[in-house]
Amino acid sequence: MTQRILLTGGAGYIGSHTYAALVEAGYEVVILDNFSNSARDVPDRLELLLDRKIKVIEGDVLDRAMLDRVFAKHDFDAVVHFAASKAVGESVKEPLAYMQNNIGGLVTLMQAMQAAGVFRLVFSSSASVYGNNAQLPIAETAERSYGNPYGHTKLVCEQIIEQTLASDPRWAVGVLRYFNPVGAHPSGLIGEDPAGVPDNLMPYIAKVAGGELPCISIFGDDYPTPDGTGVRDYIHVCDLADGHVLSLRSLFHEGKGHVVNLGTGRGYSVLEVISAYAQASGRDIPYLVAPRRPGDAAATYANPALAKEMLGFSARFDLGDMCRSSWEWVSTQAQSADA
Ligand code: NAD
Ligand code: UDP
């Protein structure tokens, strides 16, 4: 029998790629999104990509009455919860809005799930719950901490999930700690589309390659890393999407949850990413060295062993694939804007 999944935040960057992966894996999926951080045409693009009608509910996960109606109407077997606010800098300026949306959203959703008798949940957590001093490669057992309000919301959400699990054995929750998602779907139809000047490295480099921004600032070249620039574990968004399919499968088959890293286990420096992107795009990527960004860790990368052991997950795509797919998406977007 086809299992039915509610995808909150399914019009967003990771949510839209996961939608495609879940449909391809045979699940019946409904998107719930308030479009606060996603383009209105994402469902149309998904229809084009998958050649089928997409079911989208426009709504807010803080709206309990709406959630109750949605659960009453659809017989969901599980929920994948992406809907949240994710900009670290914005969270420092507006901590209360982040607490409300990320923590309030999870609590409201879990209450509605409980009332509807739906107890399987996949939750988008983040490597930000490890803070900046974890031993490398970072294992799930590393002590948790946070460096900003956004990271704090993810840590509190994980604690809320743990306490809820302890209170009721019917819950089975997959907590997925993403490292640095980048890249886009190979179709060129969906990808990351940040409004304004991007905060994150790869979307920024993409705009430099496309000529929208003049150069990239490297935030620090005096870190204790091989070339002095910051090291991160970049993971292709399509690999990440597949991780959600495996997480759900495990919840259905094992009937119990898991807390796992989703990363490649391989770190790349800022200079390595710039060089890989220049190669993928065939464009020059001018850069200058700027001071360190406050709060940045020198290096973070995952120990991916537990995700492999528990879910059978391992990343398929390398940095070249990530850059090529990003460039494909960015250049396709630019062409359609020019047309
Ligand atoms: P995104 O902003 O592209 O997607 C989030 C989606 O949720 C958007 O479509 C937005 O409109 C929607 N949304 C936000 N608040 C909502 C609400 N109250 N009700 C309904 N919809 C709402 O972000 P993303 O990069 O796809 O991230 C998805 C999840 O993964 C988030 O929980 C984020 O914190 C987490 N995460 C992201 C990263 C990353 O680098 N992108 C890393 C680690 C964890
Ligand atoms: N970075 C940079 N210039 C930028 C944006 C990011 O040098 O314009 C660096 C940043 O210091 C870090 C890496 O790129 O070492 C990844 O940063 P990002 O914001 O993408 O991810 P996060 O720091 O949240 O892991």
What CATH number does the domain containing 108 carry?
A: 3.40.50.720
| Best residue for ligand 2 mutational test, from 13, 223, 232, 287 (most atoms within 8 Å of Cβ) | 232
Is residue 53 predicted with pLDDT exceeding 70?
Answer: yes
- Please indicate, yes or no, if residue 280 is contained in any of the structural domains: no
Local confidence band at 333 (pLDDT 50, 70, 90 cut-offs): confident
- Please indicate, yes or no, if residue 118 is contained in any of the structural domains: yes
Average pLDDT over residues 85-102: 96
Domain that holds residue 244: 4-183+234-263+303-312
- Please indicate, yes or no, if residue 193 is contained in any of the structural domains: no
Q: How many domains does the chain have?
A: 1
DSSP assignment letter at 127: G
- Please indicate, yes or no, if residue 195 is contained in any of the structural domains: no
How far does the centroid of ligand 1 lie from the alpha carbon of residue 104, in Å?
A: 14
How far does the centroid of ligand 2 lie from the alpha carbon of residue 286, in Å?
A: 16
Catalytic status, residue 150: yes
58: left (phi over 0), alpha (psi -120 to 50) or beta: beta
- Please indicate, yes or no, if residue 119 is contained in any of the structural domains: yes
Give the tens place of pLDDT for each residue, 127-151: 999 988 899 999 999 999 998 999 9
- Please indicate, yes or no, if residue 113 is contained in any of the structural domains: yes
Among 19, 130, 146, 150, which one carries the catalytic annotation? 150
Q: Is 217 in the pocket of ligand 2 (CB under 6 A)?
A: yes
Is residue 327 predicted with pLDDT exceeding 70?
Answer: yes
- Please indicate, yes or no, if residue 149 is contained in any of the structural domains: yes
Is residue 322 predicted with pLDDT exceeding 90?
Answer: yes
| Mean pLDDT, rounded, of the chain | 96
Task: Let me know: does 148 contact 95? Beta carbons within 8 Å.
Answer: no
Q: Please report the pLDDT score of residue 194 as a whole number.
A: 81
Q: Please report the pLDDT score of residue 131 as a whole number.
A: 86
Is residue 339 predicted with pLDDT exceeding 80?
Answer: no
Q: Please report the pLDDT score of residue 120 as a whole number.
A: 98
Q: Please report the pLDDT score of residue 295 as a whole number.
A: 87
Peptide bond into 137 cis (omega under 30): yes
For ligand 1, atom 29, the nearest C-alpha belongs to 82
- Please indicate, yes or no, if residue 143 is contained in any of the structural domains: yes
Is residue 196 predicted with pLDDT exceeding 90?
Answer: no
- HSE-CB of 207 using CA atoms within 13 angstroms: 18
Average pLDDT over residues 197-223: 96
Average pLDDT over residues 44-70: 98
Count Cβ atoms within 10 A of the Cβ of residue 289 and give its class: 0-12 exposed, 13-18 middle, 19 or more buried: middle
How far does the centroid of ligand 2 lie from the alpha carbon of residue 329, in Å?
A: 20
pTM: 0.98
For 174, residues 6+ apart whose C-beta sits below 8 A from its C-beta are 121, 122, 123, 247, 248, 250, 251, 257, 258, 260
